[in-house]
Each structure stands twice: as C-alpha cells, then as structure tokens.
C-alpha cells in the first residue's frame, strides 16, 4: 500500500474580480496548507476497478468521490490497464471550505503517478487536476500560494509568519456553488491582497492579521448565521484575527501563543463539535 498525505488549506484572502462567461468566477486568493490531513492509501488491483473505502459515512464511495474521479482521469488519460483500491482516512471536516475532497484528489493523482510509473511533473499533475476541480491544482503543490483564474493558476510565495491556527466548523455543510451564486459582484468589499503579500514577505504577523479578508464570508453568513456567532466567540476567547475559510462554513482564528490557543479551543468546544488547533505548514518542502 502506498500512502499519501492530503492536507487541508485555509484562505488568508479570497477576492472575486468578475463573473466569467463559463459560470465560474475570476478569483485572486492566498492559500496556505495546515497540518490537518487525510491519509490516502493506494493499492494496485489486477482488475480494472476503482474501489473507494473511506472512514467517514458522509463521503461518497462511488464516482462522486473526487479521489475516484482523479483515478479515473489518470487511468483514461494514460490508458492504464489496471485498477486501484483507494482508502481514505478522513480527518478533514467535510464540505467545510478546507478543500478536503480536492486534497484527496490531488494526493490520488500524485500517488498514482508513482504507482503507475508515469513520471509526470507536478505541473503536469496540477494541469490534470484542474479538470476535477478549481482547488485541485493548488492542492497538488500545497504550501503557500496566490491562486488566480478560477483558482488553477498558481504562483508560489514564501511561508507566512509562524502562529497557531484554531479551526472551528459549525455542524452545517455548505455548497460552494450556492455561495458563489449568492455573491453580488457590485457590492463586494475587496480585501487588500497586495498588503497580505507584503505582510507575508516581511513576516509581519500584525499586518497578516489585519489584512485577512474573504468576499464569500458575507454570503455564507447570510445563509448560516452560525458562522458569525462562531467568529464572535473566537474573538471573545482571544484570537488575534478571525476569518471564514473558502466558501465556509469553517472559521479559523490566528493566535500568536500556545496558552491562548488552548483557552480558545477549550472555550469553543462548548459551542462547536469540530474544533482543532493546527500549525501552518508554510513552505512546500516541509509538507511530507
Ligand atoms: C471556495 C474555494 O474553495 C476557495 O479556495 C474555491 O474557489 C472552490 O473550489 P472548488 O470547490 O474546487 O470548486 P469547483 O468544484 O471547481 O466548483 C464548484 C462550483 O463553485 C463555483 N465556482 C468555483 C470556483 C470559481 N472560481 N468560481 C465559481 O463560481 C461554480 O459554481 C462551480 O460549479
Ligand atoms: N474525498 C472526498 N472527501 C470529502 N468530500 C468529498 C470527497 N469526494 C467528494 N466529496 C463530496 O464533495 C462535497 C464537498 O466536500 P469537501 O470536503 O471537498 O468540501 P470543501 O472543503 O468545501 O472543499 P472546497 O474548499 O474545495 O470547496 C461533499 O459534500 C462530498 O459529498
């Protein structure tokens, strides 16, 4: 069995620039990987089947699974005459805005590249991944990056200043399509992406905190007021800055010290079932 780590991401910024004729939105967003990860196991099969086993009952075990779609795409593109059993040890909350499914798909593509000895570069794998979902190319590389286009154009940047990240996911799941669909482009309050880039490149933690921003947050909060109340709680318990990740509903808080991190996690446990304290993984070379 070949095991591949599939880490979650958070969005430090998420801006929407325009709506495209193909129905997607032109985005500009800074993402970074955190050390909360699924583990994807790949085992070759002599038949042609792609079989999914997952530790979660809430993840589909058929062609709707993004890991299944990744394996099918790779098999069809390169004419592979064998199958694969894929085991997903699910640790990342589902439909959370943390790119769990996209990361499983990216890990599957990277693992099958080895298992099937395809010798593809990361760039080639990322290009394949874009056919599965907008977040998959970023997940193929991981680390810290600014993504543009519909999310598939990736430019790597340095690691953010070191801190703790508290993640809290309300029990609701969110449909990404519904959130983008609810966005009113004319009323967007754009985050300052350049200021966030500068904060990261100079290692300025306070500036990173004050420049967090996500234009989808207001849309998801309107649909799910729980998101606003978790943000409030997290601030009240002492986070330095709080934001919703991706299309939500997971809220993350940045915290500079460990004692306060523990206090926030313990405080939130009363309000929220899924709470985690994690670190940013920063640069790509620290991922494995
Ligand atoms: C919210 C984010 O997670 C932020 O990283 C991503 O933008 C969404 O990435 P994803 O879940 O991989 O999205 P996809 O599976 O490609 O698209 C799901 C749906 O979201 C909407 N969508 C997605 C990406 C984008 N740039 N514009 C969009 O309008 C579309 O309605 C699309 O049908
Ligand atoms: N391997 C997978 N893991 C989790 N969900 C999956 C997977 N494959 C397909 N799905 C489906 O995708 C939906 C979205 O789940 P996912 O956890 O990827 O959302 P997300 O974290 O919001 O992703 P993103 O941030 O990329 O929008 C789920 O409702 C689930 O039915």
pLDDT at residue 271 in the model: 83
Distances (CA, A) of 23 to 1, 26, 66, 111, 181: 40, 10, 21, 31, 9
Rounded Cα gap, residues 170 and 42, in angstroms: 31
Other C-beta atoms lying within 10 Å of the C-beta of residue 147: 23
Does ipTM top 0.95?
Answer: yes
Q: What distance in angstroms lies between residue 159's CA and the mean position of ligand 1's atoms? A: 24
Is the minimum distance from the CB of 150 to ligand 1 under 6 angstroms? yes
Active-site residue flag, 135: yes
Distances (CA, A) of 16 to 148, 210, 248, 275: 10, 19, 15, 28
Which tokens in the block code for residue 278? 């994690």
Rounded Cα gap, residues 3 and 155, in angstroms: 27
Q: What distance in angstroms lies between residue 111's CA and the mean position of ligand 2's atoms? A: 19
Which residue's alpha carbon is at the smallest distance from atom 2 of ligand 2? 101
Which residue's alpha carbon is at the smallest distance from atom 29 of ligand 2? 95
On whether 97 is known to bind a ligand per the annotation, the reply is: yes
Is the minimum distance from the CB of 67 to ligand 2 under 6 angstroms? yes
pLDDT at residue 285 in the model: 53
Which tokens in the block code for residue 3? 């095991």
Distances (CA, A) of 133 to 30, 112, 113, 274: 17, 18, 18, 25
Is the minimum distance from the CB of 38 to ligand 2 under 6 angstroms? no
On whether 95 is known to bind a ligand per the annotation, the reply is: yes
pLDDT at residue 286 in the model: 52
Quote the pTM value. 0.97
On whether 96 is known to bind a ligand per the annotation, the reply is: yes
Q: What distance in angstroms lies between residue 238's CA and the mean position of ligand 1's atoms? A: 32
Rounded Cα gap, residues 150 and 24, in angstroms: 6
Q: What angle do CA 53, 249, 73 make, to 5 degrees?
A: 40
Catalytic residue among 104, 135, 169, 231: 135
- 273 CB-contact burial (10 Å; exposed 0-12 / middle 13-18 / buried 19+): exposed
pLDDT at residue 281 in the model: 86
Domains of the chain: 2-156 (3.30.230.10), 164-286 (3.30.70.890)
Low-confidence residues in the chain, pLDDT < 50: none
Question: pLDDT for 224-241, tens place per residue?
Answer: 999 999 999 999 999 999
Q: What angle do CA 100, 267, 92 make, to 5 degrees?
A: 10
pLDDT at residue 270 in the model: 82
DSSP category for residue 66: H
């Amino acid at each position: 069995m070949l095991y591949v780590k599939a880490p979650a991401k958070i969005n430090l910024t998420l801006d929407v620039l325009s709506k495209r004729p193909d129905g997607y939105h032109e985005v500009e967003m800074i993402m970074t990987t955190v050390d909360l990860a699924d583990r994807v196991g790949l085992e070759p099969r002599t038949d042609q089947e792609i079989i999914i086993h997952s530790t979660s009952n809430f993840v589909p075990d058929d062609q709707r699974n993004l890991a299944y779609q990744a394996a099918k795409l790779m098999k069809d593109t390169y004419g592979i005459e064998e199958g694969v059993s894929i085991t997903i040890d699910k640790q990342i909350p589902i439909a959370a805005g943390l790119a769990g499914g996209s990361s499983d798909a990216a890990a599957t593509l990277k693992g099958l590249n080895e298992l099937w000895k395809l010798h593809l570069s990361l760039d080639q794998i990322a290009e394949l991944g874009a056919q599965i979902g907008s977040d998959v190319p970023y997940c193929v590389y991981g680390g810290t990056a600014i993504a543009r286009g519909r999310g598939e154009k990736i430019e790597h940047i340095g690691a953010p200043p070191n801190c703790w990240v508290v993640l809290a996911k309300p029990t609701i799941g969110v449909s990404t399509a519904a959130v983008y669909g609810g966005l009113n482009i004319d009323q967007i309050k754009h985050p300052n992406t350049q200021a966030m880039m500068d904060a990261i490149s100079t290692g300025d933690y306070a500036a990173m905190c004050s420049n967090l921003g996500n234009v989808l947050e207001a849309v998801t909060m309107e649909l799910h007021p729980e998101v606003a109340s978790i943000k409030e709680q997290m601030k009240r318990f002492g986070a330095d800055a709080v934001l919703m990740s991706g299309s939500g509903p997971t809220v993350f808080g940045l915290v500079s010290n460990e004692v306060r991190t523990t206090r926030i996690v313990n405080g939130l446990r009363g309000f929220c079932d899924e709470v985690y304290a994690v670190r940013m993984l920063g640069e790509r070379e620290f991922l494995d």
